[in-house]
Amino acid sequence: MSKSIEELIPDYLRGLPVYVPGKPIEEVERELHIHAIKLASNENPLGPSPMAMEAARKVLADSNRYPDGGTLRLREKIAALHEVSPDEIFIGLGSSELIDVAARVLLGPGTIGLTSEGTYPPFSTAIRANGGALKRVAMRAFSYDLPEMAHAVTNATRIIYLANPNNPTGTAFGAAEFERFLSHVASGTLVVLDEAYIHYADRVDMPQSVELFRLRKNLLILRTFSKVYGMAGIRIGYGIGAAALVSAMNKLRTPFNV
């Protein structure tokens, strides 16, 4: 007897929540009859730089052509900014694509993905959607409990997701705390460090993540053009990671993703 489409869907996908973004501000104003200032999606109200808008206008005439599938020029520019190799740069649809593709590379049945309660929901979704068992550690005072997270790592842990500063609580951990945590993580476990809000951090002792990456290749650093650069609608993010990891991620990304 043939199965229905619903029966073909893996069990680990059936209970996944749908990501619910903040409503468009026009919809909120129409429903509530108010003038609103939208905070729900952490968008930059100042918008993009005039230089970015002018650059976008210049390429509109070529929008009938597919972009460079390897995003070479952008990877070279970002690599030069961070003094890494272009082969260590992955370009994605915001940092959201990187969160998912990293999980697709590393997770599957019998593996574990680790993150925290009270953090960015797509971390948990990426783990579960790619067949990994989800382990979440409780927060302490709205912050990551890094010592407890280090204690939760096992031989089956393939990926760990952290956001620094954290979304949505806004807390951040410092360099010494993070380096102690990394010292407890084996080289066979990837630590994904989402720094979407790094430019807003007011701690003076924030981790020097790119310098740490030079020493520990099991670190994947995520950055985005969506927040401080005010370009959320364009959907560009990037990751700094080991060349072998980036190569594997490129095999799974959508063609012409940016």
Domain that holds residue 232: 48-252
In a domain, 41, yes or no: no
In the chain, the number of structural domains is: 1
Q: Which of 79-83, 93-97, 150-154, 244-248 has the lowest mean pLDDT?
A: 93-97
Q: CA 241 to CA 257: how far, in whole Å?
A: 18
In a domain, 15, yes or no: no
Q: What is the model's pLDDT at position 115?
A: 99
Q: What is the model's pLDDT at position 8?
A: 80
Q: What is the model's pLDDT at position 17?
A: 82
In a domain, 34, yes or no: no
How high is the mean pLDDT of the chain? 93
In a domain, 85, yes or no: yes
Q: What is the model's pLDDT at position 118?
A: 97
- Looking up residue 113, the CATH number of its domain turns out to be 3.40.640.10
Q: What is the model's pLDDT at position 254?
A: 85
Each residue's pLDDT tens digit, 26-42: 888 888 888 877 777 88
Its pTM stands at 0.91
Residue 1: band (very low, low, confident or very high) from pLDDT cuts 50, 70, 90: low
Q: What is the model's pLDDT at position 3?
A: 76
Residue 15: band (very low, low, confident or very high) from pLDDT cuts 50, 70, 90: confident
In a domain, 258, yes or no: no
Structure-block tokens of residue 140: 């302490």
pLDDT at 18 over 70: yes
**Percent of the chain whose predicted confidence (pLDDT) is above 90:** 72
Each residue's pLDDT tens digit, 139-179: 999 999 999 999 999 999 999 999 999 999 999 999 999 99
In a domain, 28, yes or no: no
Q: What is the model's pLDDT at position 25?
A: 81
